[in-house]
Chain A
């Protein structure tokens, strides 16, 4: 939307209301370039780590390969810190809600993974639980931002999660885990970035 230079001048009542409506609408329909970057970073890190763990176990059956899972926080947390140092131009209440959703779900997932790796909850189907938690995050984010692709991808990821739970084959468990993250993070991330790029180049 074209922005006419605003001045320090009085307005009539209709102009005031029109201005308020326009400013609120512009801000609410904002989509920043690379808006899908976080999904892509977490999605690709998880997929690459899963494949690395899978290959490692195929080469030799050593429980300590599970420590490779820590590559996810080790590479993801510096990204979060970098992003925090460069705050967004504008932070809406929707951004705040989404950020809280992912802090709560991410911390829960991390805690359960650590417990699982250190064998405290050995019997837990941890890969299935992580898919469910992150799938919930994807669906909630989609609902809050009215982004249908994230809702659909979150649901599909949960179905993949069910397959992951029902199978006993190690290869299928690992590959369905990676596939779930491609579906709920990588695909929506690319869709958001494509839309943002299109919108930003139009403006």
Chain B
């Protein structure tokens, strides 16, 4: 049985952001933008969506005189990411999941 893929994570940019944040304690906006190669405007919109879903925490501080936005994955975000990986595996190895189920 195929599991449903979380539509919020099943987008290239949002999945990219979550994949970065799952492997670090925190990352700032500039770093995420460099890694995803996207525009600041587009990234802001996607970060806001992840924040609204409770998947990430966003903290705004200052780095010297420059504003700095730091993102950190939440427990809810980690859980959603794990469920997404689990669902992906049900598509890639359907037989294995049938046996387990």
Interface residues of A (CB under 8 A from B): 3-11, 13-17, 19-20, 22-24, 26-28, 85-87, 89-93, 95-96
Closest Cβ of chain B to A203, distance in Å, is: 10
Q: Is B64 an interface residue (CB 8 A)?
A: yes
Known: A7-B13, A23-B35, A27-B20. A86 touches B26 (CB 8 A): no
In the bound complex, residues from chain B placing their C-beta under 8 Å from that of A26 are: 20, 35
B68 surroundings in chain A (CB, below 8 A) = 87
Q: Is the CB of A5 within 8 A of B24?
A: no
Query: Residue B38 contacts which of A7, A28, A89 (CB distance < 8 angstroms)?
Result: A7
B41 to chain A minimum Cβ distance, whole angstroms, is 12
Q: A6-B37, A10-B11 are in contact. Are A89 and B27 (CB under 8 A)?
A: yes
> Is the CB–CB distance between A8 and B28 below 8 Å?
no
When distances are taken between beta carbons in the complex, the residues of chain B under 8 Å from A8 are: 11-14, 42, 45-46
Residues of B near A23 (CB, < 8 A) are 16, 19-20, 23, 35
Interface size on B, residues (CB 8 A): 36
Contact indicator B64/A91 (Cβ below 8 Å): no
Which secondary structure characterizes the binding site on chain B? helix
Which residues from chain B sit less than 8 Å from chain A, CB to CB? 10-16, 19-20, 22-28, 30-31, 34-39, 42, 45-46, 61, 63-64, 68, 70, 85, 88, 91-92
22 contacts between A and B (CB under 8 A): A3-B35, A3-B36, A3-B37, A6-B13, A9-B11, A11-B11, A13-B91, A13-B92, A16-B88, A17-B88, A19-B19, A20-B15, A23-B20, A24-B23, A27-B24, A87-B28, A87-B68, A87-B70, A90-B31, A91-B27, A92-B25, A93-B25
Asked if residues B88 and A27 are in contact (CB atoms below 8 Å), the reply is no
One of A16, A22, A28, A96 near B10 (C-beta < 8 A): A16
A10 CA to B5 CA, complexed, in Å: 11
A24 touches B63 (CB 8 A): no
Given contacts A7-B12, A10-B12, A19-B16, 12 further A-B contacts (CB under 8 A): A6-B36, A8-B46, A10-B11, A11-B10, A11-B11, A19-B19, A24-B20, A27-B20, A87-B63, A89-B28, A89-B30, A90-B31
